[in-house]
Amino acid sequence: MTEPSQLALEHSKPKLLPLSIAGNRSLGIFVEGQSDIAVLLVSGGAQVRAGSHRMQQQLASYLQQQQISSLRFDFPGYGDAEGQPADFIQHAQWLPEILTAAQQAQPQIRRWLLFGLCDGASAILLNQQLLPQTAGLILLNPWCRAEQNHAKTMVRFYYWQRLWSAEFWQKLLSGRSQPLQSLQQFLQYWWQARANLNPKNANGSPDLQPTQGSNQQFLPAMLHNWQQYAKPVLLALSENDLTAQECASLLAELPATQRQQIARHTTTKTVAKANHTCSDATHFLQLQRVIKDWLLQNFSQ
């Protein structure tokens, strides 16, 4: 990659791209780079502007510095888009429509990458029609929650971390915490994790039951598509994030063959001490470096 001229970048102001998603009007913000690569930024559900939206804006600016274009947008019912909010299962069905509109509006882009955070990452992996149109995926803390791996992660990650937290002991000693309630919750998760409530199925893989409130059993389809995807994938996991730990736990417990097939095209990196959206400046710089290294390794030409 050649270094972009500062003058060219200054003149590449963000452009509004009108979108129609399932008949609902929305707006995309296209930030133009100087290469034939662009990233479609897919958010999760309801987000605050100080969280995912701020991260996407910062990421778009960083990608432009790397000569890479980006497009971010609102799903129906969120932000500036018309319509009623839907979950990521429905978002997955809308993504091919959005990518097609982006390809038609920006025909100079030859390679589209998809970036997803949390259930946005899961939505990307759920659509078999979408994946063949992409050149690669960047998945940040994918949503992989199932009953048993949630219980195990709560025991191994959340409660263990709390025991080493000065804030927890300060609340306990000051009487501002409810130790009996916390103990009761811990024992409930410990029992779920130990009781093997979701035994492995006949193929030796975990029987992935969704937690209460989930409307579908999405994980088998998501993992199957990930396993079949043969293009580069970057899996970035925040070290101090429960969702990231659940994803890591789920992947670690997959049968060896499935785990190896996913790992064959997936580069996994941990963002040290980062939270869910890498909101701290130091952590976001780590994420930038991880993305840059992966891009140079896979898309340098």
Identify the CATH number of the domain in which residue 73 sits.
3.40.50.1820
- The whole domain housing 163 covers 150-194
Residue 155: predicted pLDDT: 58
pLDDT the model gives residue 80: 83
Q: What is the pLDDT of residue 185?
A: 57
According to DSSP, the residues that pair with 238 across neighbouring strands are: 271
The answer on pLDDT for 48 being more than 80 is no
Average pLDDT over residues 245-260: 93
Selected residue with higher pLDDT from 30 and 52: 30
Q: Write down the pLDDT at residue 196.
A: 46
Greater confidence (182 vs 273) lies with 273
Residue 215 to residue 9: CA distance in whole angstroms:
44
Say yes or no: 219 and 271 in one domain: yes
225 shares a domain with 87: yes
Structure tokens at 54: 């701020």
Backbone phi and psi for residue 237, each to the nearest 5 degrees, phi listed first:
-120, 125
Tokens of 246: 């659940």
Calculate mean pLDDT across residues 282-299. 97
Percent of the chain residues topping a pLDDT of 90:
63
Averaged pLDDT, 59-75: 96
Residue-level pLDDT at 256:
96
Residue 200 lies in a domain: no
- How far apart CA 35 and CA 1 sit, in angstroms, is 9
- Please state, rounded to an integer, the average pLDDT across all residues of the chain: 82
Over range 11-22, report the average pLDDT: 88
Q: Of 118-122, 182-186, 232-236, 246-250, which range is least confident?
A: 182-186
Band of the pLDDT at 79, cuts 50, 70, 90? confident
Give CA–CA dist 21/14, Å, rounded. Answer: 21
**Which of the 8 DSSP states describes residue 20?**
E
- Number of residues assigned to the chain: 301
Strands across the sheet containing 37-42: 15-21, 24-31, 69-73, 37-42, 111-117, 136-140, 233-238, 266-271
Same domain, 169 and 111: no
Pairing mode, strands 37-42 and 111-117: parallel
Query: What confidence score (pLDDT) does residue 53 get?
Result: 82
Confidence of residue 239 (pLDDT cuts 50, 70, 90): very high
Q: Which two tokens stand for residue 61?
A: 């600016």
Average pLDDT over residues 8-35: 87
Burial of 234 (0-12, 13-18, 19+ CB in 10 A): buried
Q: Bridge-partner residues for 139, per DSSP?
A: 116, 235
Q: Of 3-7, 119-123, 220-224, which range is least confident? A: 3-7
Judged by DSSP in three states, 289 sits in: helix
The one-character DSSP state at 272 is T
Res. 202: pLDDT tops 60 = no
Report how many domains make up the chain: 2
> Could you tell me how far CA 279 lies from the centroid of its own chain?
14
Final residue in a domain of this structure, among 124, 159, 194: 194
- 79 sits in the region (left: phi over 0; alpha: psi -120 to 50; else beta) called left
> Minimal CA–CA distance to 278: which of 40, 54, 70, 74?
54
> What is the C-alpha separation between 236 and 216, in angstroms, rounded?
25
Decide if pLDDT at 11 tops 50.
no
Same domain, 30 and 108: yes
Residue 39 three-state SS: strand
Instruction: State which of 133, 166, 194 marks the end of a domain.
Output: 194
Question: Is it the case that residue 31 has pLDDT exceeding 80?
Answer: yes
Integer CA distances (angstroms), 38 to 31, 52, 70, 73, 275, in order: 9, 19, 5, 14, 26
pLDDT in tens, 265-285: 999 999 999 999 999 999 999
Do 142 and 156 reside in the same domain of the chain? no
Whether the CB-CB separation of 120 and 91 falls below 8 Å is answered with: yes
Same domain, 102 and 129: yes
pLDDT of 167 over the 70 cut: no
